[in-house]
Chains A and B, each alone.
Chain A
């Protein structure tokens, strides 16, 4: 009986966590590659290519002018607050 209660509680917590994650994810806007192409020459836009490992290395396609961030050291990131940031 106690185990059943614990399981219900765990399920409820998972549902809340998933909802919170989804709601949070909604705040981040996404753009298409066609929209990004139009923004590439805009000086108020900074593009960051955050791919790592083989995702970065094996791909032939790199975004022109994109900066890279060390995903292992997020504390060292110095992101400009006055610009529109695009992460890939």
Chain B
């Protein structure tokens, strides 16, 4: 029982421990100081209210089925492909190359960073393909290392503040809205638990617990960073977590942070592979994706999704996309679609429940749809390079919509194909 809860917790928190989240925390503290800490608390509550709708969607026959029945097949498929699926593929080169740099620069300088990135992806893929049990154990181990290291450095940082490094300034409206946006984005990903095939009341509790604890970890790490590195230096740095860990605990702190980055990447990649394949299978079950991904009839088909996501991620790395600035814009575009997806799931739950006597859930879903819809627009407007972001989003949406329509037409013409 405890093991099952630990697995659920580790799957829910996995993506939130990625190095990208740590960059956002560092830069958020740099721009907005203590306001960012407050923003994380507000964002945690906002996500927790939406977690209820996501859990309801997951329990009621699966999210793809509910979205298809309430919003239509093409919007449902497009939203899922643009958000989690595109994110799973685009995040691979960025997360893995960050882990590669951490390994190369912190631990073994003679080992090439991209060699490590490919090796890490291969090892995680083989483990996911070989055994679900081994994948769960890997998830727990990597989360324990990442959370343990982050908490240790946070406690060290908070207990020994450097008064000379503290910069107190009032954030401008732009900085405050940017901080709020970052706070919302660092907590995206807990819902991957609901699509890993784990659906029970305990899992809902595990997802909300992971969300609240992740919020608390980021508050602690944000405070430790605030107490040790001036905001102006955090804003300039591309690796604020490395800067803060070195200031807090010297070279050992840097090594602990290196371990946090690598294990956080493993946790994120592992859950993205498992959840991405499972999502393809659920979409296939709901008639939104080709039947070859449906693992309910034949288990090996679930592995096709893992191979596809891992292969595409490896392909992007081989093409040098990790070193391209536009890959980050594409990743942010997918993340924005994930925020929009939260709004759409809330909308689907609202449409499904409004005729029934489930007032609390209906109001919660309506609130979630409105709040995440507004955040979606607000974050795009507040983005410093909103034009490039919108362009990437349009291309991504067009590609995924064409894919969804093409598959829809294929199904209409040739039937289910089962």
Contacts and interface: CB of A to CB of B under 8 A. Distances in A.
B105 A53 contact: no
Interface of B: 19, 23, 93-94, 97-98, 100-102, 105-106, 238-239, 242, 321-328
A55 B242 contact: no
- The interface size bin for chain A is 10 to 19
A57 interface: yes
- 10 tightest CB-CB pairs across the interface, nearest first? A55-B323, A58-B101, A58-B98, A57-B238, A54-B97, A54-B322, A53-B323, A53-B324, A52-B325, A53-B325
B325 A58 contact: no
Given A54-B93, A54-B94, A54-B322, A60 B101 contact: yes
Given A60-B105, A71-B325, A55 B239 contact: no
Contacts of B239: 57-60
Contact of A58 (B97, B321, B324, B326): B97
A72 B325 contact: yes
A57 B325 CA distance: 9
Contacts of A59: 101, 105, 238-239
Contacts of A52: 323-325
Given A53-B325, A54-B101, A56-B238, 11 more contacts: A52-B325, A53-B328, A54-B93, A54-B327, A57-B239, A57-B328, A58-B100, A58-B101, A58-B102, A61-B105, A72-B325
Contacts of B97: 54-55, 58
A15 B168 CA distance: 63
Nearest to A72: B325
A51 B101 contact: no
B153 to A, nearest CB: 16
A72 B327 CA distance: 13
28 contacts: A52-B323, A52-B324, A52-B325, A53-B323, A53-B325, A54-B93, A54-B94, A54-B323, A54-B327, A55-B97, A56-B238, A57-B98, A57-B238, A57-B239, A58-B100, A58-B101, A58-B102, A58-B238, A59-B101, A59-B105, A59-B238, A60-B101, A60-B106, A60-B239, A60-B242, A61-B105, A72-B325, A72-B326
Contacts of B322: 53-55
A10 to B, nearest CB: 23
Nearest to B317: A54
B265 to A, nearest CB: 11
A56 B101 CA distance: 10
A54 B322 CA distance: 6
A54 B101 CA distance: 9
A53 B327 contact: yes
A67 B98 CA distance: 22
* B19, B101, B102: most-surrounded residue (chain A CB, <10 A): B101
A61 B321 CA distance: 20
B242 to A, nearest CB: 5
A77 B98 CA distance: 28
A11 B93 CA distance: 33
Contacts of B326: 53, 72
Contacts of A51: 323
B297 to A, nearest CB: 39
A47 to B, nearest CB: 17
A56 to B, nearest CB: 7
Nearest to A71: B325
A53 B93 CA distance: 11
